[in-house]
Structure 1
Amino acid sequence: MPTTPPAAAPSSEKAAPPPVPPAAPPLSVPVPVPVPEADSIPRAVVVPPRPAGPPRGAAGAVPARGLLGRSRELKALRADIERAGLDTLSGRKSPRSRVLLIAGRPGCGRTALAEELLRTLSDGYPDGVFRARLSGPGGVPVPTGDVARGLLTALGATAPAGSDDDEPAEALRAALTARRAVLLLDDAPGAEYVDPLLPDAPDCLVVVVSEGPLTGIPDVRPCTLGGLDGAAAVALLARFAGPVRITVDPRSADAVVEECGGQPAALVLAGGWLAARPKASVSDLRTALRTVEPPDELPVGERPLRRAFLLAHDALPPSVARLLRLLSLAPPGLVDAHTASALAGSTLETAGTSLADLAALGLLHQEPDEPEPPAVRPGSGGADGGPRYRLPGCLATAAAELLRVYERPAEIQLARARMLERTVRLLQSCRGSGEPAGSPARERADSLPYALRFPSRAAAAAWLRRRRAALLDAARLAVSDGELDTLDRRLIATLVRTLMAHEGPEAAAGDLYALHELVLEVAERRGLGREKAAALLNLADLDGGAGRTEAALARYRAALEAARSAGDTVATGRALESLGGTYSELGDWQRAADWYGRALELRLSRGESADAARLHGRIGAAHGRAGRWPEALKEWRAAARTSRRLGDLAGQARATAEVARVQERAGRPEEALRTSLEALHTARGADDMGLEAGLQLRIADLLDGLGDPAAARLHRAAGEQLLQDHPK
């Protein structure tokens, strides 16, 4: 008989796994059929595995599809949508979308009911259905800004990188204003996480799945779920066990329903146990359930589901049971064959079979894949990992508790390290697929084993898109754990490069900001000065690009301090130049010239003449914008001299042309003309036709101002001919 898990063993000893009941046959390949109603169950469904004996893949009867026992609740929810709200009754048009609440304990089928409702409503909301989970594994709330960014991505919109929670939430509401769409907000921890996401669009509908009420949100229509009624619960068991065993022992079936509290998730697990044992009776299932004792401290309402979970876990073969426990380490409960293989240290084939078996028993839910073109459909390459599964949130906590009981901390850390290492290698392969042929990254990707390679760039991009949220969660959880910081840094660095390769800096800016913040956290924790300076510089660049200039200044100053403390002259120079550039954007030309001057001193001390010439020009431009003509002329002439020493004729010509521009603005047109002719001569030596054409046109303007229109026409015609002969 199944037994309860042993008391927690000391960390230095491994607890022995529970015995496998001799009556349990080996797991086999499952046959796809509908999955009964359970919390967070997707529409794709499977049945328990067939017992040993019939050949693999043998056809079997397919149980009836459909949601069981929720017709009354479904009808009430549809009626609530049509019912007038408080604003309508008072004669005002509703300023916000209608909000429906489906409340109940995890495992009561609340998400399945929400999905069924959305399926029946899809025709009435042509702009689509958008889903988001507001809680992660273990019930940890997801920041509102992250939820809003994910929904904005699904809508084809973007939020500024690094913005706080309010800004992306506001952008989400604005994006939904003119739409007729549905939002499904699953696993909402409370009203404060829902309210910022509610669109100001009366034509939109928001369906919230939560355990409790949404206090503070007006005009919410709640639908509270309990257990299934007796007939629906028995029918759910019959889907797994077949009608014969239920018909011959209806009293035991009623007793099993009572032991499971009528909870769909518990009934699914109990039914899976029964279906895997074709010779067991419903009475045997009832006895087995009563033998399992969940922890005493568990609330009464959670005991039926925990009892069914322990029964299912104890009946698994030891290797599959261990994999189930290890899956609680996967963020955010999302796994495929690669993740399972790395966690358990098994082959991909074994891991894929075990995942399918767990899904057949109701312990995992298969995730529906987004439609893809044939060239990039899941399974088209070894690195894809095949079907994706999710460990339901109502089971994740129990699996994590068993993991701590059965596995030593060192084994848990080793499993996590294997998972991170596999993720890094998959990201390296994905990045290589996005690089040009012959590049070092592409060559490294081509040298990986087939199981880690993608067949095409499109397939790699599709993999990255489907697993993007899970990869970001993996990075966050790895950093928060703090035990594997070396692997964390490799994971983040590789993910940054992969996003840049496939999406570019602008499209990936939001994710890059979050990743650089994680790098900063690790660097501060480990006292890594160079990494801290680099992370601060990258964050400041993103702040500046998003228009948060003051935040960028603060980051650049912190980066400068960190770089100087670490003796990183490269980062120091970059920080100094960035400070100068930021003050230029603010129009503070004196401070801009001062910071550029400090950067110039550093470049000169390091003998970096090319950078010194560029900084002379930036200082000259800052002085020119401030109207300090002597200082501007001095810096541009220094830039021209430095370029001449370097043999950079084009750079010399441009700097000389800027000298002429300053002279013209200072009211010295004759000198400006002579200097422009000198710059034109240098540009001809550099064979830079675009620069030569621009100088010809500028000389023409100067000649017009000096009263020589004939010469001006000649230079203008020459410039226009150059532009015609050498278009950009």
Structure 2
Amino acid sequence: MRDQAVGGGQLPPEATSRPAGGAMAAPSRRASGPRRDGATLPAPAAPPTAGRIAGRRRELKALRADIERTGLDTLTGRRGTRSRVLLIAGRPGSGRTALAEALLRELAADYPDGVLRAALTGRDGEAAAPEAIARELLDALGTTAPPGAPEDELSELLRDALAGRRALLFLDDAQGAEQVEPLLPDAPDCLVVVVSQGPLTGIPDVRPCTLGGLDTAAAVEILARYAGPTRITVDPRTADAVAEKCAGQPAALVLAGGWLADRPKSSLADLYQALAAVPLPADTSSGARPLVRAFQLVYDALPPPAARILRLTVLAPGCLVDAPTASALAGCSVSTAGAALAEFAALGLLRPDAGTPPCSLLERGGQDAAPDGATGHPQYRVPGCLAPLLATLLEEYERPADIQLARARMLQRTVRLLVSCRAMSEEPGSPARQKVAGLPRSLRFPSRAAAARWLRGRRAVLLDAARIAVADGELDTLDRRLMAALTRTLLAHQSPEEAAPDLYALHCLVLEVAQRRRLPREMAAALLNLADLDAHAGRTAAALTRYRGALEAARAADDPVATGRALESLGGMYGELDDWQRAADWYGRALELRLARGERVDAARLHGRIGGAHAQVGRWDEALREWRTAARTYRRAGDLAGQARATGELAHVQECAGRPQEALRTAREALETVRKAGDGHLEAALQLRIADTLERLGDPAAARLHRAAGERLLADQPD
């Protein structure tokens, strides 16, 4: 969450331009005061866009100087090995992020590899895990990280990815050095800018810039942005008094200015008196009072329906909300929600969001926004400094059952969006596409490309929605429906390798739900999926532990399919460890289950795996017996291709056992079988194997004939 969302001292371009008459033009606002009768708020003028910041020139100059200053680790004349770290410290609402953004704009030309940015505080105000942030940064750099990789591995990958680059790394709203240190690159040409409330104790040679309030001139400049120059000119002393009442905090000044702009007939004296009259809780700290006072002033002026919509916005995933999302949360019409959101943005309660994900790589010259392909409605983000205040009001005014209902409506809409997004991956005219065509327009996508863009741009928000569903714990089956829909949608628009990191996170959430609700079948499925990803990433020990847990859960659920899969997977893991005796044992247990269920093809496959395990340790008689049984079982099941493969492997084992004549006869038998099956690739492989055997037996002419036949078959096969 970011505190620049409420302005942070930023001025819009129009605030510094002057009309022909030379006076500063005031932004237009609706003429009437706030409605308290519950009627829909009229849509105000669009809020001003962010431009240069008010004041802070001294701080910017000091930060620029700190970049060039010799660090403690370079006093000897040797260049440092790590990136320089600049710290901008201040309370939320002090304009710390706005100052960081202004610094990044000034430095962008000196760092051709662009800007990496990440928010280190999550939607709920808790510190984001360093491994999650490292993965997001790696994604932005185009570097693939193994799913489920630990923090140390991800940090090392991040340092490798940034080595040799000249980039800016912006870490917003850090809660301590333990979050920042794993993300620091060993790249002296990179610069790290950190925004935090306190010091980064433990990180050497950090250059701090501590923010207080704005000076009076800059504070009044922010008020003039909203109130217009006339009211400032006619009462400059009261303007100074309002700036002092807000303690020069940009967030408080923006809210106070928004309140005044909403009342063209009110004076600065009215604003000052209104601020002074706001009651504050006894436990409010002195530093938080200006922001709390200004926020409460603006909030109390909202009509009750609008105030409820504002409170509920804090429930939105990623604190990112648009009109349909607010409509689902509040149970009102989309038009009412859209007008309210626009009003909130004009008052400084929300900030328009250009579609930038929480962590993104911005190249020089601009950024690629991720458009909301389903709705096209403007998106807004809840300011980080206001989110705790809204959360407190939500808890105070909303019943737990109403909060849960709002959450359920929002997540239900997310599920429908995911179903629509997944349907767009299918061919036109498919049943899924026809079903989606009947959905409201706000839930439909114009094309497959638009659906894929929406999924890519909202990936972090969708994962946050899944975490919300799991954390609620009282949404019945909605959390599982959401995670199932998200899993299918990711796989529909991405390859399994691309989706693996997100799938790992989703399977962990599924496991959490299954354990909490004591659902052994779902627990077994989640453990199997996680173990598969661990195994693919080379974490064999972790995979073994999870496969054993899946086996226990599957047996508790009396799920033979999951039980068999867990048994086979355990055999495969011990094979990866070259423990072939245990591998054969686990395959044998899986075989017993398959035979008891009459699953011949699966039983034949397991006979082959057991034979392969015996062959690895030179137990030729046991291996031959298993492969003969496998071929026989395939034949009884009517699987000619499987029979040919098993017979070919039998020939290979016979040759390894020192029985070349038997191997030749068996390979020719397999060749006859595979011709009946019509498998060209397998026939070519058998021809080449026969050629190798004939060469060992001293018949090069026959070997050449079989090799030529095999190569012709390979050339004729499609890739």
Give the TM-score of the pair, scaled to structure 1.
Answer: 0.91
CA contact (8 A) 1:435 1:441 kept: yes
Aligned positions of 1:668-687 closer than 5 A: 668-687=659-678
CA contact (8 A) 1:40 1:392 kept: no
> Residues of 1 paired with 2:113 and 2:252: CA distance?
36
> Residues of 1 paired with 2:112 and 2:148: CA distance?
32
CA shift for structure 1 position 378: 6.5
What residue is the counterpart of 1:277 in the other structure? 263
Q: Does 1:84 align with 2:45?
A: no
CA separation of 1:61 and 1:712: change in aligned 2, threshold 3 A: closer
CA contact (8 A) 2:5 2:350 kept: no
What residue is the counterpart of 2:458 in the other structure? 467
CA separation of 1:464 and 1:379: change in aligned 2, threshold 3 A: closer
> Residues of 2 paired with 1:619 and 1:464: CA distance?
44
> Residues of 1 paired with 2:244 and 2:474: CA distance?
44
The worse-fitting range, judged by mean Cα deviation, of 63-72 and 86-95 is 63-72
CA separation of 1:517 and 1:726: change in aligned 2, threshold 3 A: closer
> Residues of 2 paired with 1:725 and 1:270: CA distance?
77
CA separation of 1:202 and 1:43: change in aligned 2, threshold 3 A: farther
CA shift for structure 1 position 44: 12
Report SS of the residue matched to 2:477: helix
What residue is the counterpart of 2:31 in the other structure? 51
Pick the aligned partner of 1:175 from 122, 142, 161. Answer: 161
> Residues of 1 paired with 2:447 and 2:14: CA distance?
28
What residue is the counterpart of 2:18 in the other structure? none
> Residues of 2 paired with 1:716 and 1:481: CA distance?
65
What residue is the counterpart of 1:665 in the other structure? 656
Give the TM-score of the pair, scaled to structure 2.
Answer: 0.92
Report SS of the residue matched to 1:670: helix
CA contact (8 A) 1:42 1:367 kept: no
State the percentage of identical aligned residues: 69
CA separation of 1:483 and 1:583: change in aligned 2, threshold 3 A: same
Pick the aligned partner of 2:91 from 86, 105, 111. Answer: 105
What residue is the counterpart of 1:524 in the other structure? 515
Report SS of the residue matched to 1:207: strand
Q: Does 1:556 align with 2:556?
A: no
CA separation of 1:197 and 1:62: change in aligned 2, threshold 3 A: closer
What residue is the counterpart of 1:710 in the other structure? 701
CA contact (8 A) 2:45 2:346 kept: no
Q: Does 1:152 align with 2:143?
A: no
CA separation of 1:42 and 1:143: change in aligned 2, threshold 3 A: farther
CA contact (8 A) 2:169 2:193 kept: yes
Amino acid across the alignment from 2:31: P
CA contact (8 A) 1:537 1:556 kept: yes
CA contact (8 A) 1:272 1:361 kept: yes
CA contact (8 A) 2:29 2:44 kept: no
Q: Does 1:535 align with 2:526?
A: yes
CA separation of 1:610 and 1:49: change in aligned 2, threshold 3 A: farther
CA separation of 1:37 and 1:449: change in aligned 2, threshold 3 A: closer
Unpaired runs of 5+ in structure 2? 16-25, 34-41, 357-361
Amino acid across the alignment from 1:50: R
> Residues of 1 paired with 2:472 and 2:370: CA distance?
31
Aligned positions of 1:286-435 closer than 5 A: 286-369=272-355, 381=373, 383-435=374-426
Q: Aligned-pair RMSD on alpha carbons?
A: 2.5
> Residues of 1 paired with 2:189 and 2:545: CA distance?
43
Cα shift readout 1:175-220 (whole Å, capped 9, x = no counterpart): 1111110111000101111111110111000000001111111111
Unpaired runs of 5+ in structure 1? 1-33
Report SS of the residue matched to 1:300: coil
> Residues of 1 paired with 2:538 and 2:11: CA distance?
43
Cα shift readout 1:508-530 (whole Å, capped 9, x = no counterpart): 21111111111111111101010
CA separation of 1:155 and 1:493: change in aligned 2, threshold 3 A: same
> Residues of 1 paired with 2:320 and 2:127: CA distance?
17
The worse-fitting range, judged by mean Cα deviation, of 294-303 and 549-558 is 294-303
Residues paired across the two proteins, number: 689
> Residues of 1 paired with 2:80 and 2:223: CA distance?
44
> Residues of 2 paired with 1:362 and 1:269: CA distance?
5
The worse-fitting range, judged by mean Cα deviation, of 476-485 and 242-251 is 476-485
> Residues of 2 paired with 1:540 and 1:42: CA distance?
52
What residue is the counterpart of 1:580 in the other structure? 571
> Residues of 2 paired with 1:392 and 1:48: CA distance?
23
CA shift for structure 1 position 331: 2.5
> Residues of 2 paired with 1:66 and 1:295: CA distance?
35
Q: Does 1:38 align with 2:8?
A: yes
CA contact (8 A) 2:9 2:222 kept: no
CA separation of 1:291 and 1:495: change in aligned 2, threshold 3 A: same
CA contact (8 A) 1:160 1:546 kept: yes
CA separation of 1:224 and 1:593: change in aligned 2, threshold 3 A: same
> Residues of 2 paired with 1:657 and 1:329: CA distance?
61
CA contact (8 A) 1:67 1:116 kept: yes
Cα shift readout 1:403-460 (whole Å, capped 9, x = no counterpart): 1222122111111111111111111111222234455544443332221011111111
> Residues of 2 paired with 1:201 and 1:330: CA distance?
37
What residue is the counterpart of 2:691 in the other structure? 700
> Residues of 2 paired with 1:48 and 1:198: CA distance?
45
The worse-fitting range, judged by mean Cα deviation, of 141-150 and 714-723 is 714-723
What residue is the counterpart of 1:688 in the other structure? 679
What residue is the counterpart of 2:239 in the other structure? 253
Report SS of the residue matched to 2:302: coil
> Residues of 2 paired with 1:235 and 1:251: CA distance?
14
CA separation of 1:438 and 1:119: change in aligned 2, threshold 3 A: same
The worse-fitting range, judged by mean Cα deviation, of 132-141 and 620-629 is 132-141
CA separation of 1:460 and 1:41: change in aligned 2, threshold 3 A: farther
